[in-house]
């Protein structure tokens, strides 16, 4: 697969402790903004039962899946203990407040 870069808009387009969904050729990617303006991007499917992570609750650098309460670490894509599983993680470049999603 060829690498691509998708312009997402401005940092302020994503609410703090919220998410935005981006449609890509590989599927939906959820882009999250933490309270302290960190940006993370994960596949928008919980590893448990495929719940929409973008609709979950962001707390710190984690998101809680809205379906069954699994907690996913935004920085690694891994489920928090005692659960097991992971989702693909993507990098996001913040260039002066403009965000770019990198897909490989």
Q: How far apart are CA 20 and CA 44, in angstroms?
A: 10
pTM assigned to the model: 0.94
Residue 68 inside a domain? The answer is yes
CB 100 within 8 A of CB 6: yes
Residue 104: pLDDT band by 50, 70, 90 thresholds? confident
Distance CA(14)–CA(51), nearest Å, equals 20
The reply to whether 56 falls in a domain is yes
- Residue 1 CB partners (closer than 8 Å, separation 6+): 26, 104
Tell whether 50 is covered by a domain.
Answer: yes
- 42 domain residue, yes or no: yes
The CATH number given to whatever domain includes residue 74 is: 2.102.10.10
Task: Give the span between the Cα atoms of 78 and 41, in whole angstroms.
Answer: 13
pLDDT at 1 over 80: no
Structural domain contains residue 101: no
- For residue 9, is it within any domain? no
Average pLDDT, stretch 35-57? Answer: 97
Q: What is the mean pLDDT of the chain?
A: 96
């Amino acid at each position: 697969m060829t690498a691509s870069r998708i312009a997402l808009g401005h940092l302020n387009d994503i609410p703090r402790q919220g998410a935005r969904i981006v449609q890509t050729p590989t599927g939906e990617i959820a882009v999250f903004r933490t309270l302290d303006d960190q940006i993370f991007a994960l596949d928008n499917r919980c590893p448990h039962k495929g719940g929409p992570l973008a609709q979950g609750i962001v707390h710190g650098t984690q998101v809680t899946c809205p379906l069954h309460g699994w907690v996913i670490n935004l920085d690694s894509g891994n489920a928090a203990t005692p659960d097991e599983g992971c989702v693909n993680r993507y990098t996001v470049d913040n260039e002066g407040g403009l965000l770019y999603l990198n897909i490989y």
